Structure 1
Amino acid sequence: MKRDDFEVTENQITEYKKRGYNDDLLPKTKDKRNMGAGNYFTLWMGSIHNIPNYAAVGGFLFLGLSPLNVMIALFLSAFFVSAFMSLNGIVGSKYGIPFAMHLRSAYGNFGAKLPGFLRGCVAAIAWFGLQTYTGSLALLIMIGKIWPGFLHLGGSVKILGIGIPGLISFTIFWILNVLVGIGGGGILNKFTAILSPLIYVVFGGMAIWAISAAGGLGPILSYRLSATAHVNPILVYFIIFNSVLAVWAAPGTSVSDFTQNAKSTRAQVVGQTLGLSLGYLIFAFSSVVILIGGSIHYHIEEWNVLNIIERWDNFPAVIISMAVFLLTTISTNATGNIIPAGYQLTALFPKRLHYKSGVLIASLISFLIMPWKLMENSDSIFVFLNSIGAVLGPVAGVMIANYFFIHKRHEDLDDLYMDLDTNNKDVLYHGINREAYVATILALLLSLSGQFIPALSGISDVSWFVGFGSAFIIYLALKRLVPKKALETIDD
């Protein structure tokens, strides 16, 4: 590993186990840190090409930018995302620690519970259910193409508010996602290595079809939507940047769950930066071309990529494309939702749960919340997701400010892995970092203010930037104004 990275010893691991930590929370030793730049290059490829992201691009086209400018804005978004992911992942790659312990270093052992619950439980479990349901729609279409009678099973009968074909499709796809989640990072590395080449082939082929179907690239680039709004182009760019960052708010906050396995910090920084840049370059071009080309060809303004594919007459092309969308959804669910949920439940109940049991509990909850019911009202879904993004933007701002400017890129693992039953307030990370909480709450109120105060409605369009930036600044200011111990403590 790079010289600057920390190598934990077996004696430390033995001691931390005695203090009550299970294997899922322990820092990774050198022999277990096996993810190189190539692994990180492919890690997020599948997460970019998912069905909700294609729907988001359809919305971006309504904001007033030309198709070419939407492509450019999407590509530039990758640099914001990769900087966020790489910087926040340094703690994990340097010390080999997961998100739960990274969060403790910023908020304290007791203070980490609330932001950890919001990220690993509320956001991850709900979004896992929604992504699974969205993917199951692709599976439903694919099964219907193979076996048309399947779509009519049960007639109009509904169970838990969903038709029998839909429930069967959701259950099958849910099981596939759970199995990949249980496999963890090891399975995911193999999964993404297979998926990445398929993405190039399938989405490249879809883009070629769309260009041909539209009569060339010219009609696509000159296309204008009838409902196009007129707003400041610079503002639209930042709205797109903000939306893309909001999509990555959850995995970016908990990215240490993946960078803890890095062979070196350089490996994760280079791998993530190149992977996200290339991934968004492909996505920016393919998504805009496919959506507009399909709309021109079928003489409709159709921004659901699944509906466009469903109209194809080529049976093998439909099956292959839908299959790749299913795989990308599984990749997204694993990296961004179910793996973080498993780790966070383990962190909340370290003596009762381990990673696999955490995954099973989170998966069961994601089924019981009946995500298809949430999908009945698209407005409520976006309000929920924007709210989660507004919460996690401030959390990420505090985490990055704390590591680089307060702790000055150094963590004390012996104090971080304190005895779980300790009441020693002299331990650096014990209790609650009150400044972190104040900064997070104030930034959260500010980032959400646009939803409640009409005069500040513009803030909602850049809520992640507002939440992240204000938490970053407020936290550092409070630390300067209140120069006490690194962490304030309370009895917990």
Structure 2
Amino acid sequence: MALDPSAQIASDQEGRVDLVDRAAIADSPYYNPELAPVPLEGRTWTTYNFFALWMGMAHNIPSYTLAASLVALGMDWVQALLTITLGNLIVLAPMLLNSHAGTKYGIPFPVFARAFYGVRGANLVALLRAFVACAWFGIQTWVGGKALHVIVGRLAGEAWTGAPVVLGQVWTLWLCFLVFWAVQMLVIWRGMEAIRRFENWTAPLVSVGFLVLLAYVAVKAGGFGPILSEPSKLGWGPDFWKVFFPALMGMIAFWSTLSLNMPDFTRFGGSQRKQALGQVLGLPTTMTFIAVVAILTTSGAQALYGEAIWDPAELASRFDSTAVVLVALVSLVLATVSANLAANVVSPSYDFSNAFPRRISFAVGGLITGVLGVLIQPWRLISDPGIYIFAWLGFYGGLLASVAGVLVAGYWVLARTRLELPDLYLSGRGAYWFTGGWNWRAVVATALGSLLAVGGAHGGPFPADGLIPPLKPLYDYNWVVGLVVGMAGYLVLAPRKEQA
């Protein structure tokens, strides 16, 4: 498809770009209205919208379990807080760098990826991101369903909690899981605007449940003194550092998915300053808050019950007060719905739509996400803190980091933030068609970064000596390895004219 000269570019004083005439791309098989650039008048999200988005995404049960799992692995509250805070500050950098293109051009992540992987090749990384999101959707839905099960159990009694076991769980837990799943599907079916409104009104409420948990545990433990005095089982010697670096990679990996697909949200940004400020205020502060609450609560539970209970639903089920359980877990259920919709449904909905723009809408993509999220069997992924951090988070973090490296190198170093907007939707020719719609250089750089980052995966389901034994030492630094190698590889492979 040839580029129609009438497809003119418009820009505003904020530097945001739009297409005046979309007729040249409207017939392309790689175009649909949801993948198209957001019109300038539609880019209205404020600093608060982005802050509320992060508050909604960060304040959820898996964020809590992420911090609590570090205590379960033997860290004290200082070590756990240091690990999480550092991880969030590190991942914020590529997140902001990739967010820029969304705001400037109004495009979602899979369309942005076309500029470097090719109009067709972008499906490779988009679907990789999508399948990770499907697993996260399933995890969030499972833990939210467990919280709902505890809530109903407190009201219905033994008949509910002691129901017959089916496939390893009481059937009432499976019912809560499916109900929780269905509610989320109804919201996503209404589209992005419904998600934005949901995030705005739930954001101020989602902290309540975690604070109730902390307050109850602190009172029962006799204040924060016993909690803060819980010693580290690792010390500050070799035992700590052996856990610290893989755990840090896991903390970074937790949001490495969003470091790729934040353009899905920043495409609605009112300005670069609004989206960047909203994220800088939102991610580190909200994750640090939830980390503090989770660490103190888990440490308190350890002092009270003699074990580090990292699942808040399980912890709440041990409380004597039904009122406390209800207030805490209702808030946590709302928090988990809010986070799941934004972090784990929006991206794969766009990604699946990008693969088949004419057949899969945003809503249908969300439904596919929900179905795959169940088929992945998320209850297995979150069954053990070691597998959760070192196997699940570490492995996919290394894969996605290599993609982030290619995008940052391509957009900021090679393209210098300049993209040919109409060409992102053209088939057969255009700046991003490359060879048959694929840019082999980006694919090779990603494959190399991924191989070095996760080739030595060990522990959990992986061999003790690593998948590829010589690469085992690199796996403890998987996210950094993937990012650096992906970035360097793409810069080395890029043709001279692309670097000019």
TM over 0.5: yes
Q: Give the 5 Å matches for 1:34-183.
A: 34-61=44-71, 65-120=75-130, 122-151=131-160, 155-156=164-165, 158=166, 162-183=169-190
Q: 372, 392, 417: which one pairs with 1:409?
A: 417
Flag the 1:375–1:275 CA change in 2: closer, same or farther, 3 A: closer
Give the equivalent residue in structure 2 for 1:489: none
2:121 & 2:195 partners in 1: Cα distance? 31
Give the conservation status (yes or no) of the 8 Å contact 1:401–1:472: yes
Say yes or no: does 1:427 pair with 2:434: no
Aligned position for 2:358: 351
Q: In the alignment, what sits opposite 1:263? A: 270
Counterpart selection for 2:493 from 478, 482, 486 = 478
Q: Deviations over 1:347-383 (max 9, x none)?
A: 1001112111221222223334444465667776663
Tell me, yes or no, if the aligned pair for 2:72 and 2:309 is still in contact at 8 Å. Answer: no
Q: Is the 8 A contact 2:147 2:329 kept in 1?
A: yes
Is contact 2:405–2:484 with CA below 8 Å preserved after alignment? yes
Q: Give 1:312's match in structure 2, choosing from 313, 319, 322.
A: 319
Deviation readout 1:303-356 (Å, 9 max, x if unpaired): 322222111122121112111221222122212211111111111001112111
Shift of 1:189: 2.1
Asked whether the 8 Å contact 1:63–1:230 carries over to 2, the reply is no
Give the deviation of 1:154 after TM superposition.
5.5
**SS of structure 2 residue aligned to 1:197:** coil
**Given the superposition, is the C-alpha separation of residues 213 and 231 from structure 1 closer, same or farther in structure 2, using an over 3 Å criterion?**
farther
Q: What is the CA–CA distance in structure 2 between the aligned matches of 1:293 and 1:377, rounded to whole Å?
A: 20
Is 1:400 matched up with 2:404?
Answer: no
**Partners of 2:450 and 2:109 in 1: how far apart?**
21
Decide which of 449, 463, 466 is 2:478's aligned counterpart.
Answer: 463
Q: Name the CA shift for 1:96/1:167 in 2 (closer, same or farther; >3 Å).
A: same
Cα drift, residue 227 of structure 1: 6.9
Aligned amino acid, residue 477 of structure 2: V
Displacement, 1:153?
7.2
Alpha carbons 1:436, 1:475 under 8 Å: kept: yes
Is the Cα–Cα contact under 8 Å of residues 144 and 333 in structure 2 kept in the other structure?
A: yes
Deviates more, 1:315-324 or 1:214-223: 214-223
Structure-2 separation of matches of 1:300 and 1:381: 18
Could you say what secondary structure the match of 2:496 adopts?
Answer: coil
What are the superposed Cα offsets for residues 243-300 of structure 1, whole Å, 9 maximum, x if unpaired?
2211112122111111111111111100001011220231222111111112212333
* 1:217 shift after superposition: 2.4
Residues 97 and 260, structure 1, Cα contact 8 Å, conserved in 2: yes
Q: 1:229 to 1:64 in 2, by over 3 A?
A: farther
* Aligned residue in 2 for 1:490: none
Matched, 1:449 2:472: no
Residue 238 of structure 2 aligns to a residue whose secondary structure is coil
In the aligned structure 2, how far is the partner of 1:27 from the partner of 1:64?
48
Question: Are the counterparts in 2 of residues 6 and 95 from structure 1 also a CA contact under 8 Å?
Answer: yes
Quick one: which of 10, 14, 25 aligns to 1:16?
A: 25
Q: Structure 1 residues 153, 310: CA separation in 2 closer, same or farther (over 3 Å shift)?
A: closer
Give the TM-score of the pair, scaled to structure 1.
0.89
Equivalent pair of 1:394/1:444 in contact (CA under 8 Å): yes
Structure 2 unaligned regions, length at least 5: 1-10, 458-465
State the alpha-carbon separation in 1 of the partners of residues 445 and 188 from structure 2: 33
* 1:179 Cα deviation after fit: 1.9
**In the aligned structure 2, how far is the partner of 1:238 from the partner of 1:375?**
20
| Count of matched residue pairs | 477
Q: CA RMSD in A?
A: 2.6
CA pair 459-324 structure 1, distance change in 2 beyond 3 A = farther
Q: Is the 1:128–1:366 contact (alpha carbons within 8 Å) kept by the matching residues of 2?
A: yes
Separation (CA, whole Å) in 2 of partners of 1:42 and 1:125 = 23
% of aligned pairs identical? 30
